[in-house]
Amino acid sequence: MERNQTWITEVILLGFQVDRALELFLFGFFLLFYSFTLMGNGIILGLICLDSRLHTPMYFFLSQLGIVDMSYASCTVPKMLVNLVMHKKIISFAPCILQTFLYMVFAVAECMILVVMSYDRYVAICHPLQYSLIMSWRVCTILVVSSWVFCFLLSLVHLVLMLRLPFCGPHEINHIFCEVLSVLKLACADTRLNEVVIFGACVFILVGPLCLVLGSYSRILLAILNIRSGEGRRKAFSTCSSHLCVVGLFFGGAMIVYLAPKSSHSQEQRKILSLFYSLFNPMLNPLIYSLRNTEVKGALWRILWKQRPM
């Protein structure tokens, strides 16, 4: 037999393994959250496109975060919703691998965009007079394009290492979607190289960016404390605290799942944590940014006011 031969054609996603009534409840609950995710991020994207006052680097990066969040949720939640109402929770192997790849792409992309956003806030608060020069549209475009290229290349490395393995069973994935570590359990070969690369990548894209973000915000905090204007200090702190909430929710959940010892959490706890940062976090991001951001609320008011009949 050749090592690259794939025996599995379809797998079963076990999901939460609860009774039928609870599955239907979870379907409605998750569908509501998914709808809010698409609607909330879609509204922010629409406001940024329609209101010229939001055509700034900060909101350009926020629009990228919205795209990532909608894509992040859309690559896993629809299939999860289907499985909650279907008796046979089956997914073909090729779409399963594609889901794994896309999930890694958008997870890494969110890490990179959050780092870029922290750098933007650092320049805006610590070097306000040079902000327009440092954060030119050319620089912003390079930062975003580089982030997307990096996330695709890194995810492609994991995909290539995964596809070199023979997959011959078991035919069940004890997760709510085709998460990379769960998919590796289907391989009938040594997966230690894959696990080492995944762990190293997680350290690089979670611990490294988190240190950069915390370093940026420690400098930002010192700069905020030196602002003499109470209004200026309040506005700067409000903007940055929103970003820190998003950073804490995303990085905290991801680090618990991928960097904590395997024995510290049961598989069911890992499912809930994965659900938190793949569904709940993308839904919370637009709420955090819109409810705590006067410029976004002002843009929404202006758009609604224009639509009112005279």
- 92 in helix, strand or coil? strand
Alpha helices in 51-136 (DSSP H): 57-74, 77-85, 93-126, 131-134
Q: For residue 26, what is the enclosing H or E element? A: helix 20-50
Q: Which domains does the chain have, with CATH numbers?
A: 10-307 (1.20.1070.10)
- CA distance linking residue 240 with residue 221, whole number of Å: 9
10-13, strands of its sheet edge to edge = 90-92, 10-13, 172-173
User: Which amino acid, 48?
Assistant: I
**What pLDDT does residue 98 have?**
93
pTM of the model: 0.86
- CA distance linking residue 130 with residue 123, whole number of Å: 8
Full pLDDT tens readout for the chain, 310 residues: 444 455 678 888 888 888 888 888 999 999 999 999 999 899 889 888 888 888 889 899 999 999 999 998 999 899 999 988 888 888 888 899 999 999 999 999 999 998 998 899 889 888 888 999 999 999 999 999 999 999 999 999 999 999 988 888 678 888 889 988 889 988 888 888 998 999 898 888 888 888 888 888 888 888 777 766 666 667 666 667 777 777 777 888 788 777 776 655 567 777 887 887 788 888 888 877 776 667 777 777 777 676 555 4
Confirm if 240 and 223 have CB atoms less than 8 A apart. no
Strand partners, 158: none
- CA distance linking residue 227 with residue 90, whole number of Å: 57
Confirm if 268 and 18 have CB atoms less than 8 A apart. no
If one counts every other C-beta atom within 10 angstroms of the C-beta of residue 43, the result is 17
How many residues does this entry show for the chain? 310
Cα distances (Å, whole numbers) of residue 194 to 9, 94, 185: 21, 19, 11
